[in-house]
Every structure is written in structure tokens, then in C-alpha cells.
């Protein structure tokens, strides 16, 4: 009997044309843990320290780790090894760093203990299989980096692939696309959509998004029939989007 269960959404693989080819997304919407949650868990496990003290220690640890990473060091705790990395092409005999062409980021690699526990303690449960005909956000690509790993760039464009996503009518209050932060605050778009179709939407990420995780939310009355839906449909991207 496994100790934990990851809940999966299966979506069409939009990089292939095989209708039986799906990709899995772990459902983490509404399930982001913060330092306050970690502090409460440590307290409940029997720590004599007050929650406020535990939060302070965790936040100090975050700051120290950030400083090490920003200076170019790798940082390893009991779960992951974090290492600095630069993405982008370097062309020519004497290439130089160009922030418009290169992206500074970090890699996370599991420790041996985490790999062991992942194999021993985690099972999966398929919540939903999205087949033809359903409304879904299936893939989000950051145009700035070309990545579809969930990282997004403020004030950069996203290409969103899916089904039945078109925001229609596009001038009705309450309909549109939002980025929902961990606290549940909905941040609207600040630029008009440059593409608004059932299968592809191209949007500009609000420049005001700060570092953290967000959920993409689309609300629309679009229908493939002649008439619009009577009630709006809400579509959530099950994979968290991250501003580094």
C-alpha cells in the first residue's frame, strides 16, 4: 500500500497527431504549500518552537539559499540539489551574454533519498482523461524562452494550445483570461489577445506578475454550435505556471 497518491489529468499530446497519445499532468491546483504550512506541520510533529519562530527560521533559510544560488553555488538539502544554469544559444567565436537571448535559471535534481521514497511511497490515480470534444488548456509555451515546462516570463507572450478555449464574446464582463496567484487573487490581462481561437490563444503575460506560482483561468461562453453557451464555462490549466 502506497503512502501517497498523485492525482493525474490526462490531456491530448498536442505535439503529435495521434488521438490515442496523451500526456499526464499532476493536479496541484489549490494545493501549493507555503512556509506557514511547513511551520504548522513541524509544530504538529512535536516541535517546542512557536510557529512564528519556525516561519522566521524557514524564511531565513530561504534567504541564505537564495544568496548561495545567486552567487553561482549549488545548494543541496535533503530533497533536491539546485544548480545554476544559463539557457540560450551562444554563437560566434567571442559570444557574450545577452539578456534578450539568454535566460538565467536553476535546475533541480532529486537526492538519492527522494528518488527512493518516490519509488516506494507514491502511487497515481487518473482523475480525468480528456478526449476529443472537451474544453481544455493542454499546453502553454513561453515564447521568450521557447519552453513549455511551466515557467513564464512577465511582459512576454504565451502561446496556449487546447480545445474550445476561444473567449467569446470577447467584450462581455466576466469573460476572459486571468492568472490566479497562490492567495486566489485574479490578475487580468493588460494587453488585448493577439490571437483568440478555439485551439490557440496568444496572450501577453502581465508585467506586474512577481515571482511565484499561478493558475491560468479562462472563462468563456464559446460553443462549436451556432449559439453561445447560456452559462460561462471555466477552464483551468492543471499545471502551475511559475514566474522565477
Closest CA to 228 of 240, 238, 237, 219: 219
pLDDT band at 19 (very low <50, low <70, confident <90, very high): low
Helix intervals (H) in 47-146? 51-70, 112-121
Average per-residue pLDDT for the chain: 90
pLDDT in tens, 160-188: 988 899 999 988 999 999 999 999 999 99
Sheet holding 75-76, edge to edge: 75-76, 80-87, 103-110
For each of the domains in the chain, give its residue range(s) and CATH number, in order of start: 4-126 (4.10.520.10), 133-243 (2.70.50.70)
Q: Mind listing the pLDDT tens digit for each residue in 99-131? A: 988 999 999 999 999 999 999 999 998 766 655
Please give the model's pTM, rounded to 2 decimal places. Answer: 0.62
Q: Which helix (H) or strand (E) holds 226?
A: none
Task: Check residue 18 and give its pLDDT.
Answer: 67
What is the C-alpha to C-alpha distance for residues 184 and 82, in angstroms, rounded to an integer?
Answer: 28
User: How far, in Å, are 106, 115, 238 from residue 214 at the CA level?
Assistant: 19, 27, 10
Give 64's pLDDT tier (boundaries 50, 70, 90). Answer: very high
Residue 133 in this model has a pLDDT that exceeds 60: no
The residues pairing with 85 across neighbouring beta strands, listed in sequence order, are: 105
Amino acid at each position: 500500500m502506497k503512502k501517497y497518491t498523485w492525482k493525474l489529468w490526462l490531456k491530448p499530446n498536442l505535439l503529435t497527431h495521434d488521438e490515442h497519445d496523451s500526456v499526464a499532468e499532476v493536479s496541484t491546483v489549490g494545493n501549493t504549500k507555503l512556509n506557514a504550512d511547513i511551520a504548522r506541520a513541524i509544530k504538529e510533529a512535536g516541535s517546542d518552537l512557536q510557529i512564528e519562530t519556525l516561519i522566521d527560521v524557514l524564511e531565513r533559510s530561504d534567504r541564505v539559499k537564495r544568496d548561495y544560488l545567486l552567487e553561482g553555488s549549488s545548494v543541496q538539502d535533503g530533497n533536491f540539489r539546485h544548480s545554476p544554469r544559463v539557457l540560450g544559444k551562444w554563437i560566434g567565436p567571442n559570444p557574450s551574454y545577452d539578456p534578450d537571448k539568454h535566460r538565467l535559471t536553476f535546475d533541480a535534481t532529486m537526492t538519492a533519498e527522494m528518488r527512493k521514497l518516490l519509488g516506494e511511497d507514491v502511487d497515481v490515480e487518473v482523475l480525468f482523461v480528456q478526449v476529443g470534444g472537451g474544453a481544455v488548456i493542454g499546453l502553454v509555451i513561453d515564447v521568450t524562452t521557447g519552453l513549455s515546462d511551466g515557467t513564464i516570463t512577465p511582459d512576454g507572450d504565451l502561446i496556449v494550445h487546447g480545445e474550445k478555449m476561444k473567449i467569446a464574446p470577447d467584450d462581455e464582463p466576466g469573460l476572459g483570461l486571468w492568472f490566479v496567484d497562490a492567495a486566489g487573487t485574479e490578475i487580468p490581462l493588460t494587453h488585448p489577445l493577439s490571437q483568440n481561437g478555439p485551439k490557440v490563444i496568444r496572450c501577453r503575460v502581465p508585467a506586474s506578475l512577481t515571482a511565484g506560482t499561478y493558475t491560468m483561468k479562462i472563462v468563456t461562453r464559446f460553443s462549436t454550435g451556432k449559439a453561445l453557451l447560456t452559462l460561462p464555462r471555466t477552464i483551468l490549466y492543471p499545471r502551475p505556471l511559475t514566474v522565477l
